[in-house]
Each structure stands twice: as C-alpha cells, then as structure tokens.
Chains A and B, each alone.
Chain A
Amino acid sequence: MTVTAPALAEVTSSNAALRAFLHGLPGVDKVGADARAAALGTRSIKTTAKAMAIELAISMVDLTTLEGADTPGKVRGLATKALRPDPMDPSCPPTAAVCVYPSMVSVAKEMTKGTSVKVASVATAFPSGQASLKVKLDDVRDAVEAGADEIDMVINRGAFLSGRYLEVYDEIVAIKGVCGDARLKVIMETGELVTYDNVRRASWLSMLAGGDFIKTSTGKVQPAATPPVTLIMLEAVRDFLIATGRQVGVKPAGGIRTSKDAIKYLVLVNETVGDGWLDPHWFRFGASSVLNDLLMQRNKIKTGHYSGPDYVTLD
C-alpha cells in the first residue's frame, strides 16, 4: 500500500473521505483468496515443526468462556487452566489470556495477578453491540476498572453495512479513549460483513481508529473465523504497518477446534506476515476447546502415544 501518514489523517475528516479511502483499497478476489488459503492449508507440518507450532499455539490461546451460565467458580477453574494448562507438566506454557464477561473480570484478575496471563473482557454490549454509545462506554469502563488488561469490543455492523463508516470509526475512537492502558481488540464479526472487500475495509477502519488488534468474530455468529478471512486481515495488518509504522495484532476467534486447524492458522501467519506476528503479543486464538486438543497432541509428541480425553481437564 502506498499510503502516507499525513494522508491517513485526512481520510477520517468526513464520512465521504473515509468512504472514498476504504473503497479505494485494492479489491479482494474471493476465488483467489480462498485458493491461497486452501493452498497454505496443505502445508505439511511434521516432527520438530509440529512440536514448536503446538507450543506456540498454546501460548497464543485466549481461553474463553462467554456463557450466560458462567459462575465465579467456572472462571476460577478456567484461570487455573490458563496458568497451567497441563496439570501434570509444568513445562507446558500458559495461555496468553483468559477471556470473560465484564462481571467476571475481578474474579479472573485475582487468579492471574502477577503472572503473564492477561485478563481480556468482552464489552460494548457484546455480542450484538445493540446499545447506545453511553452504555457501551460504561461497559468498557467497568471492565477496565475491574482490572481488564484487554478489551474485546464489537463494531457497529449495522452502521458499517449501511455505509456510515465515520460513525463506526468515531465509536471505536471513543472506546479506545476509555480503555486506558488496556489493549483494544476490535471484533468485526466478519460473518455478518459477509464479503472479503468488507473484511478488508473494516480491518483498515478498525486500525485507523486505534485498534490494537483486529478480531474476526464473537463466536456467537456463523461463520466465525475462517482461514481466508484471517488471511485478508493479515494482509491488512502487514500493509498498515508498511503505511504507518504501527503494528496491529490479529485474532481469529470461533470455530478453531483442532491442533490441525491451529497449525494452519500459524502457517498463514508465517507465510503472510512472518516472524513479527509469531508471538502471543501479536497473534491470538479466541477459543476454548482447541486447548485440549493441543494438549493431547503435545502429550503425544512427548510420550509417543495418545493419552485420551480423560487425561486433559474438562472445564
């Protein structure tokens, strides 16, 4: 992308300017993007590479529970697992974060204090985002005050799809303004944006507004994360870094269930943006069940045999 920083300041001066900029981004050919993601999905990751990828994937998991039935006890259990995913093996790395609703942030924070495991909280009337800006801002403030290190917000898809890009932008800017030191993950809900052109535009819009991460999905809408959508987001953060010098993280969330899935995403990262993003600070998996499969595969590599689902904890 040949975009200069001063030019970028102007693109958010009006909805028309922002629209012109977003629609001026190179298009995405769906057939080609799907084919590229599928081709990278055929990479064969074996032996030492597989062991390394599984270790890295575990350290990138945002271990998540976002259920109406969540209780402090369940969140404590989840945090315990995040800190020591394999109770029988202290050499297993902790996950990157636990991801909970705002009401559970203080419980999670108590458990993870003084460790590397972050507490991420969904906010802004998650998952639909159907609330006033005032309510969304209060939601974020609550989570931040309770100790959240990261905020996972949802964008206003209704405004985005009807072309009110500046409204979406202003909302992200306002939310970033109350995040304090917390890193802001912007959930675009790509399953509702539908087209790949929209995914690219929403990615740029979220980054321009100050998002520290762009994230595919809430996990409440199908389809959630897919390899081609993640590929397009990786291309966007790569181009944004070149254009602005600022690095933004990527988080596919939802639908990533097996180690094989996770490794495919790491291949996408490796061959699209490379080493710079192969780090839990810049790439995350929003998932829960994938962790157990990663642990079973890790055990298999270490011991040479499968232990079975009774040897990993159910949460």
Chain B
Amino acid sequence: MAIFEYAPAPESRSIVNIKPSYGLFIDGDFVDGAGSFKSISPASEEVLAEISEASEADVDRAVAAARRAYEQVWGPMPGAERAKYLFRIARIIQERARELAVLESLDNGKPIRESRDVDVPLVAAHFFYYAGWADKLEHAGFGPHPRPHGVAGQIIPWNFPLLMLAWKIAPALACGNTVVLKPAETTPLTALLFAEICQQAELPPGVVNIVTGAGATGAAIVNHPDVDKVAFTGSTEVGRIIARAVAGTGKKVTLELGGKAANIVFEDAPVDQAVEGIVNGIFFNQGHVCCAGSRLLVQESVADEVLESLKRRMATLRVGDPLDKNTDIGAINSAEQLARIKELTAAGAQEGAEAWSPPCELPARGFWFAPTIFTGVSQAHRIAREEIFGPVLSILTFRTPAEAVEKANNTPYGLSAGIWTEKGSRILAVADQLRAGVVWANTFNKFDPASPFGGYKESGYGREGGRHGLEAYLAH
C-alpha cells in the first residue's frame, strides 16, 4: 500500500435537484413530447431521469416558436439589448456553476475536476465573450449591415454537452438568430437545466428551444423547411448525411466533425511538460475529444525516454468515480461507445501493435476503459487512422521534421495538432505545413472563446469561436 493514499473526496450531489422527468423546452415552457427515453449515469448505470423524445411534430412546434420569436422579438431587438440577456445568462451560469458541474459529471461521466475547472468556466466565458459582440457586429468585418439568418437548428454531441451548447447558442443569439437545439440523447440534462436558466434570465419565449431525442429528432431539425441554418458537431458519418440533406436547400451549414490529431514531440522538447501535454491530449475527458492528440509522433532519438516518462506518469492517473474531486479519468459515456473502443483496440492488438495500460482497478458497474497506449504502431494500422474517441493513444516515431509533417498530414482528418519543441523557429515552420485547423505549441487542448476552432478535410467546415465564429450566424 502506498504511503499517501487519498481518501474519497466526493463532491456532494445534493446541490442539484434532478426531476424524475423532463419535457421539451418549447416557446419558453416545458411541454411533453411524443415519446420518452431514459438518461443514465454512465458511472453507475443508474437512471437519472425520464426524458421526452421529440417527434417531427414537436420539432415543428419548436421551429414555429423560434420563427415567431425571431420575427417579433429577437430579430428586431437592438444588439445592445440582446447583449443584456446574454450577460445575464453568463452570470447565472457562474452563480449556478457547481450545480451545472455536478449535473454534467453525473450525466456524462466526466470527472468533476474537469466539469468544474474547464467545462463550466468556458461555458460562462463563451456567453460573456459573445455578449460583447452583440452590439458591434457591423464592425466584425462582415460588411456594414450583417443580418442574422433566422432560425438555427443545432445538434450537439455528448462529449462536452454544455460547452458545445454554449459554442452553438452564444454566437447564434448574439447575431440575432433564434435556435432549436438538440442535445445528445445520452447527455440531455445540462441542456434542460440551461433551459431553466433561460427562464430565470427571462429570455423571451421561443428564442431558445431545446428538443431532446435521438437521430430521428436530429433529422427532423435538419430537414425542417423553415430552418435557415444548420450547425452540427459530431461524427463525420452523421456530418456526411447532414451535408447531403441540406445540399441544394439554401440552408447554411457548419460541421465540426472527427479528428485524428498528431501530437508531435521533437527531441528538443521540454520533456516533462510534453509528457503532461500527451496525457492531457489523449486522456482529458476520457479521450472523448474530437481534437484529442490521439496519435503521438515522437522523434526516435528521445522515443524511449518519452515513453518511459509517459508510462510513469500514467501510473499516477486516478480512474474512478466522476464525482470524486481527485478523479482524473471518469466513465466512458455509453455502452455503445465502450464497445467501439473495445473493437478498435482489439483490432490494434490483432494488427500487431503492442498495448500497455497502468495497473488500475475499474469499478464493477458502469462503463470503463483503462488508459491505454499502443507502441509499434504504423500508419497502416486502423488505430492510427480511425478515430477511437476513447483513452487510447497510438505511438509512432519519426526521424526528421519532414517525416513528422508527412505523417501528421497523412490522415483524412485535419482538426488539430500539437508541436513540442523549445525551438521557436521550428514551431512556426512546422505549424505552417500542418493541415489542421488548430495547432497548439507546447500545450494541448487549450480553449478560449476568443480563438477560432474548426477543421480541414473530413474534420468539417466553418469556424466556431472568436470573431470568425460570428460568420456562421450572419448573412452578408
């Protein structure tokens, strides 16, 4: 037994009041949907609440409410007035931060340390940031009189439920659009709590509508004729379906899809911080991150040293109860995702790569996967090409900067990349050659509302965040 064992330090869940069932949030009120499904905690498989499932007719009601609000209230409202609502929402998010963090960790399985220190503060920051733009749109560089599109249909994934909601709703509202948003079916709870926050902020009815459900509900939004703009974050597979569905309709669309990011460690890297960056790159949020650094490219001359340090560091990762304040890695979001991770890692082993995980005891109930690294990986292996979306790192080596760039770019994706070197000129030269929307230098998975985010190639199109993020919600 270790000398210094940390005692359990659970965050209290009594701060959040989860109702037995939730309706759809349409036109400022919670209303019953056609069907229902259950949302569970992936850490314990406990049922958290019964959630309404929106049918095509429910989506139609939501779009109609959004249209009315757009035409009668939100569209004509001066930007400075819209900003007041967004600032109010941002402040309420800060006031209710603990509640949101606990609920996010319960429903998603991510560690409370992340929902508390990363997700929720960024959510508030996004609303503050875009609130500031609402009355300055004519100075954003999109012409003298940029206009909103109208009704935005937004579909978000389960990996950062509330943060993806903020990325979608904050810029849409700031630009004068109204929204119909569908959270992922496994993580609807924080979006529904956000709906309560909209009520608390006295946001005019219909400006924000939250419809819960699975793929059919999403399809109803995308295909609705009165939706002017579709914004989607999720898998490349669904992104393709959406692109096909909106082609020729005149709807605007932005897609933020998958990734298989290269995290490139050069021999002159700050090793201890690079190891932290590798860990943060792939194990942050259980690897359920579209921009995760899932391919480590390490220069051969330091590969052994980096690998040894990485293994030592991984042995200190604490996997377990998401609500424990000392947990580093929480639960995999769903049984379906766990099966996908298992399938791909099995393929990695079968194709000859070597897996390693630190000794760690996984809870008996719930969905869990130990942090895993694969060595002996080649570019041809499935685990080097397909997005695993789990705590699994594929390690490849390179000898020259040119080889690193070639391997990094040799992927259908292009969302993000990392460069680790003490040499500033190398950072600039390599970043210039990488075909990835976001390139981090000597850090990884850093987000800021002022910084645009988005991908090349199959990672999607359009940018979210920053001044660039306004463009998707403005006609000009």
Picked from A1, A28, A31, A43, the residue with its CB within 8 Å of the CB of B326 is A43
> How long is the Cα–Cα vector from A50 to B117 in the complex, in angstroms?
23
**Hey, which chain B residues are within 8 Å of A42, CB to CB?**
113, 117, 325
- Tell me if B6 and A31 are in contact (CB < 8 A): no
Q: Of A105-113, A144-152, A271-279, A292-300, which stretch is located at the interface?
A: A271-279
- Tell me if B272 and A28 are in contact (CB < 8 A): yes
A-B contact pairs, 27 of them (CB 8 A): A2-B305, A27-B268, A27-B270, A28-B272, A29-B270, A29-B422, A32-B272, A32-B273, A32-B443, A36-B272, A36-B276, A43-B6, A43-B325, A44-B9, A46-B8, A46-B9, A49-B4, A49-B6, A50-B7, A52-B4, A53-B4, A56-B3, A56-B4, A266-B4, A271-B316, A275-B4, A278-B3
Which residues on A are within 8 Å of B, measured CB to CB? 1-2, 26-29, 31-33, 35-36, 42-50, 52-53, 56, 232, 235, 266-267, 270-271, 274-275, 278
Picked from B3, B4, B305, the residue with its CB within 8 Å of the CB of A1 is B305
- Tell me if B325 and A32 are in contact (CB < 8 A): no
Judge whether B2 is part of the interface by a CB distance below 8 angstroms: yes
* Closest A residue to B268 using CB positions: A27
- Tell me if A274 and B2 are in contact (CB < 8 A): yes
- Tell me if B272 and A26 are in contact (CB < 8 A): yes
- Tell me if A32 and B305 are in contact (CB < 8 A): no
CB distance from B268 to the nearest CB of A (A): 7
Judge whether B230 is part of the interface by a CB distance below 8 angstroms: no
**Hey, which chain A residues are within 8 Å of B8, CB to CB?**
46
- Tell me if A270 and B4 are in contact (CB < 8 A): yes
Mask for B240-272, Cβ within 8 A of A = 1, else 0? 000000000000000000000000000011111
Judge whether B372 is part of the interface by a CB distance below 8 angstroms: no
Judge whether B406 is part of the interface by a CB distance below 8 angstroms: no
CB distance from B465 to the nearest CB of A (A): 20
> How long is the Cα–Cα vector from A48 to B8 in the complex, in angstroms?
9
* Closest B residue to A31 using CB positions: B443
Picked from A26, A32, A44, A50, the residue with its CB within 8 Å of the CB of B276 is A32
**Hey, which chain A residues are within 8 Å of B9, CB to CB?**
44-46
Which residues on B are within 8 Å of A, measured CB to CB? 2-9, 113, 117, 268-273, 276-277, 304-305, 316, 325-326, 422, 442-443
Pick the 5 closest A-B CB pairs, nearest first. A32-B273, A44-B9, A44-B325, A29-B270, A29-B273
**Hey, which chain B residues are within 8 Å of A2, CB to CB?**
304-305
* Closest A residue to B6 using CB positions: A49
**Hey, which chain B residues are within 8 Å of A232, CB to CB?**
272
- Tell me if B442 and A29 are in contact (CB < 8 A): yes
Asked if A44 meets B326 with Cβ closer than 8 Å, knowing A32-B276, A49-B5, the reply is: yes
> How long is the Cα–Cα vector from A266 to B2 in the complex, in angstroms?
13
Asked if A275 meets B443 with Cβ closer than 8 Å, knowing A26-B271, A33-B272, A42-B117, the reply is: no
- Tell me if A31 and B442 are in contact (CB < 8 A): yes
> How long is the Cα–Cα vector from A271 to B4 in the complex, in angstroms?
10
Looking at B9, B270, B305, B325, the one whose CB has the most chain A CB atoms below 10 A away is: B270
**Hey, which chain B residues are within 8 Å of A1, CB to CB?**
305
- Known pairs A28-B272, A275-B3 / 7 extra A-B pairs, C-beta < 8 Å: A27-B422, A28-B270, A31-B273, A36-B272, A36-B276, A42-B117, A49-B4
**Hey, which chain B residues are within 8 Å of A52, CB to CB?**
4-5
- Tell me if A26 and B270 are in contact (CB < 8 A): yes
**Hey, which chain B residues are within 8 Å of A33, CB to CB?**
272-273
- Tell me if B2 and A28 are in contact (CB < 8 A): no
* Closest B residue to A279 using CB positions: B3
CB distance from B93 to the nearest CB of A (A): 21
- Tell me if A47 and B4 are in contact (CB < 8 A): no
**Hey, which chain B residues are within 8 Å of A35, CB to CB?**
276
CB distance from B428 to the nearest CB of A (A): 17
- Tell me if A32 and B277 are in contact (CB < 8 A): yes
> How long is the Cα–Cα vector from A305 to B224 in the complex, in angstroms?
63
- Tell me if B442 and A32 are in contact (CB < 8 A): yes
- Tell me if B305 and A36 are in contact (CB < 8 A): no
* Closest A residue to B113 using CB positions: A42
CB distance from B254 to the nearest CB of A (A): 31
**Hey, which chain A residues are within 8 Å of B273, CB to CB?**
28-29, 31-33, 36
CB distance from B85 to the nearest CB of A (A): 33
> How long is the Cα–Cα vector from A281 to B166 in the complex, in angstroms?
51
> How long is the Cα–Cα vector from A49 to B6 in the complex, in angstroms?
5
**Hey, which chain A residues are within 8 Å of B117, CB to CB?**
42
> How long is the Cα–Cα vector from A46 to B326 in the complex, in angstroms?
11
CB distance from B91 to the nearest CB of A (A): 24
> How long is the Cα–Cα vector from A36 to B276 in the complex, in angstroms?
8
> How long is the Cα–Cα vector from A270 to B271 in the complex, in angstroms?
20
CB distance from B13 to the nearest CB of A (A): 15
**Hey, which chain B residues are within 8 Å of A53, CB to CB?**
4
> How long is the Cα–Cα vector from A270 to B316 in the complex, in angstroms?
9
> How long is the Cα–Cα vector from A52 to B3 in the complex, in angstroms?
9
> How long is the Cα–Cα vector from A52 to B1 in the complex, in angstroms?
14
> How long is the Cα–Cα vector from A195 to B293 in the complex, in angstroms?
29
**Hey, which chain B residues are within 8 Å of A47, CB to CB?**
7
**Hey, which chain A residues are within 8 Å of B422, CB to CB?**
27, 29
